[in-house]
Amino acid sequence: MNSELQTTSALLEAWPAMTPEERLEAFERIPRAEVDDFFLELPPRDQAALILALPAGERRIWMRLLAPDDATDVIQEVPEEERAGFMAMLGQTARREVTALMAYQEDDAGGLMSPRFARLRPEMTIDEAIAYVRRQAQSGLVETVHYSYVLDSEQRLLGVVTFRRLFSGQRDQIVRDIMRSELTKASEDMDQEQLAQLFTEKHLLAIPIVDDTGHMKGIVTVDDIVDVVEEEASEDIQKIGGTEALDGRYLEVGFLQMVRKRGGWLAALFLGEMLTATAMGHFEKEIAAATVLALFIPLIISSGGNSGSQATTLVIRAMALGEVRLRDWWRVVHREFASGLTLGLMLGSIGYIRILLWQSLGWYDYGVHFQIVALTVACSLVGVVLFGTLAGSTLPFILRLLRQDPASASAPFVATLVDVTGLIIYFRVASFILAGTLLK
Amino acid sequence: MNSELQTTSALLEAWPAMTPEERLEAFERIPRAEVDDFFLELPPRDQAALILALPAGERRIWMRLLAPDDATDVIQEVPEEERAGFMAMLGQTARREVTALMAYQEDDAGGLMSPRFARLRPEMTIDEAIAYVRRQAQSGLVETVHYSYVLDSEQRLLGVVTFRRLFSGQRDQIVRDIMRSELTKASEDMDQEQLAQLFTEKHLLAIPIVDDTGHMKGIVTVDDIVDVVEEEASEDIQKIGGTEALDGRYLEVGFLQMVRKRGGWLAALFLGEMLTATAMGHFEKEIAAATVLALFIPLIISSGGNSGSQATTLVIRAMALGEVRLRDWWRVVHREFASGLTLGLMLGSIGYIRILLWQSLGWYDYGVHFQIVALTVACSLVGVVLFGTLAGSTLPFILRLLRQDPASASAPFVATLVDVTGLIIYFRVASFILAGTLLK
């Protein structure tokens, strides 16, 4: 084994790149005093794989080490047929908690929730409340004491007390008088992305989850939200790049899954891009008559694609962060129209100057009509960049309206759309400007 | 004013889309009992703008409401010339803390740090420790009691005690015996992105920040990390889309800044893309001799661009999450070679069938040599997709090696690079296959 893997933190760092066999071997060499903490720091997928790789007799202690929400995550990572066996490894209380948590969708608030939160009754005095929280902490039944939740006798959530409030109260005050009853809560089926937005807006360390009738089911703590935010950003980034979101880490995803996730989109884009060949077919006569036009095809269509990629990624991200909503579409279109026109004029001017420059320096001969060829290229660039910008910025809105993920308006998708339209714009502009000179 | 803005949470939701005047007006209508909480939930940028908009006499209470790390963020958002005035609004203790925090870079661990953490001495008994933490909480000097940090008389960090450990200890045990002395810490100048990775790896609620000599300077809590993770993901997404990262929310960034951030990259890409016109110039004779070749130019170069976009975004994200490191480059290249070849063969086959199909159905006439034209397109697609995939996956490594941000290997950048190379590959393949038939 590699000598740099001798400390557990070096091992954790190298972990993602190791094979299953190397992992098992390394895991079994970790000193007894450090192995628990090491195990708890692994992601659920790796914890599940490790337990599966261990002999049956050694599995139980690892499952029992996990808090109920983490045990639930691990069980959701093991194959269907192994799940009952994993459940049987748990203690009675934990098994009941895990069974309740398993009912939730992984991507819902309920799936992130822990049933271990500090509870108080409204009629307790501050001193009683502190002693009670302390007892709950001692028995390992709370994830955080930052907030204690005040429940009535039927487990309905009445309010929340922060530790600061609890510790700074007078000993004879009662909980009801110091609790805050207007508080942020979430329902069990709230999507994890929305829940993450709630956390960033409110800057809370935990949010209570309640059912329709106001009964408290558990809490979600902010440390789990960091993972959600990273996961959602990864999904969006992969989609923007024109791939279906991967199910795991890049180096761990199987070759077949990788090719499938990429090949599907790539083939779909390819079929769309075939329309460019069709469009070009319509202009074959023009190309034959004025080959010089063909020279600028890649330049023009890619400028449209690039400006479209910019616009779509900006809007997709702003939507994901809740900065732009459906009702803002008009402001966005307005803004992007101005941006697209400005950027198009800029690129058009550069293109115009480039052609005149090359011609006058004798670097290339665009023929006697080089000035109107330059004008054709410049005007087409303005049109294509403007179209690309508008298409890129409106597509995410259309997808959201159709209840699809706006991130599917990926950079390659927008580029493909703009390629076809860009060709049509270019040849229409050319027919118009070059009629009577290069084109009849 | 809109009637749906009557509750503060509806107001918070509408806030990003409101003008400064609407904000001030709405803020002043919030009932006294709710306005403090509302103010604390705003991002620092908006807090600063609000305070600046208020009359001088009303400013102080808002600044004094803020914890020192939040006050620091606000002061960093106000114009240079206003900063002294804002400092003067703070109380003496807070002013000292803010001055210390201002010394750190905003993107460093030090810039996220709060000096308000729970402290213990190693020789305290558990009972003394609980009473001491309680007193610190009462005076508002701690952000979280989840961890208490054990310091020696010179403020050097010796260990950490979780609240659970503290509450479940025996009353006559001393802190030294229950503290954990091997703990995760970070230095003041650690980059915030690395710090965020540390949080996700270790699943901690707070990380202590120490200087070179082991003195504890403060803590960073996980709720601040959620913002960091979102901010870093936004930066990466914007770069991947081919824009410089924006300095604020999409709808709030000024028009000029927006055009500058996009125009710079767009112009640079345009200059690169001009090489396509140069490359095409070299093949003008081939195009004139076989116009049919021009029809497939957009199809071929965009397939290369799309496969390059996929590869670069996957690798960029995997690098940002620490799943792929520099030393993994060979595994990545190996993997991407296989993916690129598979995807290229797939698209090549589709392209081949498409041309034969159109020809045999009589939808388009590619001439008598349609079969070798189809072969040329298919072989070029394999080459271009393979090249695009390899270029897209290796560029982020090269940028990281040059100590640049891998996310700058944006989808449009890779597409531009592949466009030029794609043309060369296409015409080289064509010269080879079509020599003696369509081309002499």
Query: Do B83 and B190 sit in the same domain of this protein?
Result: no
Helix segments in A90-125, DSSP class H: 92-102, 109-112
Which two structure tokens, joined as six digits, stand for A37? 């903490």
A401 burial level (CB within 10 Å; 0-12, 13-18, 19+): exposed
The C-alpha atoms of residue A262 and residue A246 are separated, in whole angstroms, by: 9
- Which stretch of A178-187, A389-398, B93-102 has the lowest confidence by average pLDDT? B93-102
Kindly indicate the confidence band of residue A408, based on its pLDDT and cuts at 50, 70 and 90: confident
Q: What is the pLDDT of residues A4-46, one digit of tens each?
A: 445 777 787 778 778 888 888 888 888 887 888 888 888 888 8
Residue A345, judged by CB atoms within 10 A of its CB (0-12, 13-18, 19+), counts as middle
Q: Give me the CATH number covering residue A427.
A: 1.10.357.20
Q: Which residues span the domain enclosing A383?
A: 255-434
Nearest to B274 among A134, A291, A354 (CB): A354
As a whole-number percent, the residues of chain B with pLDDT over 70 amount to: 98
Cα A90 to Cα A41, A57, A72, A83, B86: the distances in Å are 19, 14, 11, 11, 56
Query: How much is the pLDDT for A312?
Result: 93
For residue B374, what pLDDT band results from cuts at 50, 70 and 90? very high
For residue A43, what is the domain's CATH number?
1.25.60.10
Indicate the range of A183-187, A271-275, B95-99, B412-416 predicted with least confidence: B95-99
Put simply, the answer to whether A262 touches B310 (Cβ < 8 Å) is: yes
In the block, which residue shows the tokens 């860009």?
Answer: A422
Phi, psi dihedrals of residue B153, rounded to the nearest 5°? -70, -15
Note the pLDDT of residue A76: 85
Question: In this structure, are A77 and A207 located in the same domain?
Answer: no
Query: Is residue B25 domain-resident?
Result: yes
**CB proximity A275 to B under 8 Å:** no
Q: Are residues A305 and A397 in the same domain?
A: yes
The verdict on B421 and B318 lying in the same domain is: yes
Q: Name the nearest CA neighbour of A322 among B251, B232, B6.
A: B251
Claim to verify: residue A401 and residue A272 sit in the same structural domain = yes
Q: How confident is the model at residue B391 (pLDDT cuts 50, 70, 90)?
A: very high
* pLDDT of residue B6 exceeding 60: no
- Residue B120: pLDDT over 80: yes
pLDDT tens-digit series, residues B319-336: 988 888 888 999 999 999
pLDDT band at A85 (very low <50, low <70, confident <90, very high): confident
pLDDT of residue A4: 40
User: What is the tens place of the pLDDT at every residue in B239-298?
Assistant: 888 888 888 888 888 888 888 989 988 898 998 888 998 888 888 888 888 888 889 999
One domain for residues A393 and A330: yes
Which residue, of A103, A128, A158, is where some domain finishes? A103
Residue B199 in this model has a pLDDT that exceeds 60: yes
How many residues comprise chain A?
440
Q: What is the CATH number of the domain that holds A220?
A: 3.10.580.10
Q: Is residue A111 part of a domain?
A: no
Which of A134, A241, A266 is the closest to B343 by Cβ? A266
Q: What is the pLDDT of residues A371-380, one digit of tens each?
A: 999 999 999 9
Assigned token pair, B337: 């070679």
Smallest Cβ–Cβ distance between B321 and the set A200, A234, A318 belongs to A234
In a domain, A19, yes or no: yes
Split at pLDDT 50, 70, 90, the class of A440 is low
**Residue B299 — pLDDT band, cuts 50, 70, 90?**
very high
Residue A2 has pLDDT above 70, yes or no: no
pLDDT at B182 (0 to 100): 84
What average pLDDT does range B149-158 have in this prediction? 92
pLDDT at A344: 95
Nearest CA to A411 out of B306, B232, B235, B339 is that of B306
**Chain B: residue whose CA lies nearest to A42:** B201
Comparing CA positions, the residue from B148, B118, B165 lying closest to residue A134 is: B165
- Looking at residues B154-165, what average pLDDT do you find? 88
Helix (H) or strand (E) run with residue A316 in it: helix A297-320
Burial class, A238, CB count within 10 angstroms (exposed 0-12 / middle 13-18 / buried 19+): buried
Domain stops at, among A37, A70, A103: A103
Residue with tokens 């609980």: B130
- Residue after which a domain boundary falls, among A47, A72, A103: A103
User: Which residues pair with residue B206 across a beta bridge?
Assistant: B221
| In the predicted structure, residue B4 carries a pLDDT above the cut 70 | no
Q: Which candidate, B126, B258, B100, places its Cα nearest to that of B188?
A: B100
Mean pLDDT of the A404-429 span: 90
B174: in domain: yes
pLDDT at A388 over 80: yes
CB A89 within 8 A of CB A64: yes
Assess whether B294 and B421 both reside in one domain: yes
**pLDDT at B307 > cutoff 90:** yes
CA distance A411 to chain B (A): 7
Q: What percent of chain B has pLDDT over 90?
A: 32
CB contact at 8 A, B115 and B72: no
Distance CA A332, CA A393 (A): 7
| pLDDT higher than 60, residue B211 | yes
Interchain contact B276–A (C-beta under 8 A): yes
Q: B413: Cβ–Cβ under 8 A, 6 or more apart, which residues?
A: B242, B269, B272, B395
ipTM above 0.85, yes or no: no
Element housing B83 (H / E): helix B83-88
B317/B425 same-domain check: yes
Q: What confidence score (pLDDT) does residue A1 get?
A: 40
B114 has a chain A CB within 8 A of its CB? no
Q: Is the pLDDT of residue A190 over 70?
A: yes
Residue B436 buriedness (CB in 10 A; 0-12 / 13-18 / 19+): exposed
Residues contacting A402, CB < 8 A, separation 6+: none
Using CA atoms, how far apart are residues A277 and A308, in angstroms rounded to an integer? 21
Q: How confident is the model at residue B2 (pLDDT cuts 50, 70, 90)?
A: very low
Domains held by chain B: number = 3
Which pLDDT tens digit goes with each residue over B49-107? 899 888 888 888 888 888 888 888 888 888 888 888 888 888 888 888 888 888 777 77
Would residue B385 be called left, alpha or beta, if left means φ above 0 and alpha means ψ between -120 and 50 degrees?
alpha
- Please report residues of B whose CB lies closer than 8 A to that of A333: none
Per-residue pLDDT at A5: 45
Please, which residues 226-265 of chain A have a Cβ atom closer than 8 Å to chain B? Answer: 226-227, 229-230, 233-234, 236-238, 240-243, 246, 249-251, 255, 258-259, 262-263, 265
- pLDDT above 70 as % of chain A: 98
Average pLDDT, whole number, for chain A? 87
From B17, B67, B68, select the one nearest B46 (Cα to Cα): B17
Q: Tell me: do A329 and A406 sit in the same domain.
A: yes
Average pLDDT, stretch A412-429?
Answer: 92
- Shared domain for A63 and A89, answered yes or no, is yes
Q: Is residue A147 part of a domain?
A: yes
Residues A409, A380 share a domain: yes
The answer to whether residue A67 scores a pLDDT higher than 60 is yes
Q: Which residues contact B152 (CB under 8 A, 6 or more apart)?
A: B121, B122, B158
Nearest to A293 by CA among A386, A432, A418, A389: A432
Tell whether A96 and A123 lie within a shared domain.
Answer: no
Please indicate, yes or no, if residue A242 is contained in any of the structural domains: no
Query: Is B240 a member of any domain?
Result: no
Tell me, yes or no, whether A113 lies in a domain.
Answer: no
pLDDT at B149: 95
- N- to C-terminal Cα separation, chain A: 76
- Full DSSP string of A147-202: EEEEE-TT-BEEEEEEHHHHHHS-TTSBHHHH-B-S---EETT-BHHHHHHHHHHH
B254-271 pLDDT per residue, tens: 888 888 989 988 898 998
Q: Which of residues 293-312 of A touch B (CB under 8 A)?
A: 294-299, 301-303, 305-307, 309-310, 312
The residues that bridge with B119 in the sheet, in sequence order, are B149
- Binned at pLDDT 50, 70 and 90, residue A200 comes out as confident
